[in-house]
Amino acid sequence: MSKPRTVTLALTGASGMPYGLRLLECLLAAGVHVYLLYSQAAQIVIKQELDETWPSRAKEVETMLRQRHSVADSQLRVFGREEWFAPVASGSNPADAMVICPCTMGTLAAIAAGMSDNLIERAADVAIKENRKLVIVPRETPYSALHLENMLKLARMNVCILPPNPGFYHHPQSIGQLVDFVVARILDQINVPHALMQRWGE
Query: What percent of the chain is predicted at pLDDT more than 90?
Result: 91
Indicate the residue type of 37: L
Give residue 170's identity as a one-letter amino acid code: H
Q: What is the pLDDT of residue 157?
A: 97
pLDDT at 16 over 80: yes
- What would the pLDDT profile of 169-191 be if each residue is shown by its tens digit? 889 999 999 999 999 999 999 99
Say which residue, 81 or 129, is predicted with more confidence.
Answer: 129
Give dist(CA 34, CA 5) in Å, integer.
9
CB contact at 8 A, 14 and 102: yes
Res 198: pLDDT: 82
pLDDT of residue 1: 53
pTM: 0.95
**What SS3 state is found at 41?**
helix
d(CA 40, CA 32): 25
- C-alpha 35/C-alpha 21 separation (Å) is 13
Rg of the chain on CA atoms, in Å: 16
End-to-end Cα spacing for the chain: 24
| pLDDT score, position 181 | 96
Residues 18-40 pLDDT 10s? 999 999 999 999 999 999 999 99
pLDDT at 84: 93
DSSP assignments along 135-202, one per residue: EEEE--SSPPHHHHHHHHHHHTTT-EE-------TT---SHHHHHHHHHHHHHHHTT----SSPPTT-
